[in-house]
Structure 1
Amino acid sequence: MLLDEDRKIYHTFGLKRLTKVWSFSSLFLYAEYKASGRPFPHTPLGIQDDIYQFGGDFVLDEQGKVIYFHPSQSTADRPSTEDLLKAICC
């Protein structure tokens, strides 16, 4: 996991900022958390949260080469575990 406070890597990967934070998919995700009794993720102390920042999932090899690239297209857009394991294992 990487903390990119200055968003240098964020911009290098071409990640975007949201213009519409509360999309249907994000509201549905929060409803699922609430209905299942799962706790909501909390921002660690000392970290300023940015609700407009799109994320992504990236896997780098031992040399720092990007071997998996998944920029999120919505707040609930996450790659499957299977896709991540394929990137790591093969």
Structure 2
Amino acid sequence: MPGAAGHPLSFYLKIGAACFALGASMEMFMIKTGFYEKVVELEAERLEETREDREQFLRALASELEKQAEKKNVKLAIPKPPPSQEDSLK
């Protein structure tokens, strides 16, 4: 039974199986070479480097929200940001 482009169904099944095998072999290669471990390590370093900036932004945002709420006489329950790593070491 021909498909949309005039190819038989077996052609599409072969293409699908070949693509699956190629993708599986690429994943196996990435696992065996430690690619994912390296990605996790780099992402952890990036998060640690930007931690201070994120905490500073959250403090500024909370402060601004409190000011705006005070101006409009609205009571907000803004959660406190998590303690920074320096605070937890003390």
Query: What is the TM-score with the length of structure 2 in the denominator?
Result: 0.22
* Structure with greater strand share of residues: 1
Query: What is the TM-score with the length of structure 1 in the denominator?
Result: 0.22
Using CA pairs under 8 Å that are at least 6 residues apart, name the structure with larger relative contact order, 1 or 2.
1
* Structure with greater helix share of residues: 2
